[in-house]
Amino acid sequence: MTYNLHNYCNHFISGGITGVYDVEDLVDVLNKQRAVDLCVISIPPEHRYVDFIVIVTGKSYKHMLSLATFVRRVFKKKYDPERGDKPPRIEGEESDDWIALDLGNIALHIFSSRARAKYDLESLWCLGRELDARSNEEDDLISVLRSHSFSLDDLKAMDEPDTDIPDDKK
């Protein structure tokens, strides 16, 4: 059973302690809306642009958009403009695979199951780039860039003689 906005907001009408949503409130909203494979990652203070990243999978594009829209509607009922809160934009609304909302203290990522497996944000944020196997794989674009790249060390200053040019062409 999904909750309608009016009933839900009557239950959690006030804002959270560190933002409009406390992470527990957001988890409750997402669970009640039947989000799949919910993951909450606490962000260490040295990387603090948000307190938490919340990652969920939607069952379909319609479900993903419904999750994002409902989270935004509850946010709009709870927020306090005098505190400087602003309703979040739904990023990636046109994407079939990934929708994101910046809730101030929480970054919410709503994925399709295919995109969630591909991007694997859990490994990236929990293991770090050095240990995340997918971050260290060389894809086709990187290999093309490497094959066409050069080092600035190979360049010579204009006032240095170029020994590769024959004397009759200088």
Q: Where are the domains of the chain?
A: 23-131
Mean pLDDT of 8-35: 74
pLDDT band at residue 107 using 50, 70 and 90 as cut-offs:
very high
Q: Indicate whether 18 pLDDT > 90.
A: no
Percent over 90 (pLDDT), the chain: 39
- Torsion of the alpha carbons at 84, 86, 92 and 96, rounded to the nearest 10: 130
State the pLDDT at residue 9.
47
| pTM exceeds 0.85, yes or no | no
- Tokens for 21, please give them: 């949503």
Q: How far is CA 162 from CA 16, 156, 158, 166, 169, in A?
A: 67, 8, 9, 9, 11
Whether CATH 3.40.50.300 fits 23-131: no
- Whether the CB-CB separation of 78 and 20 falls below 8 Å is answered with yes
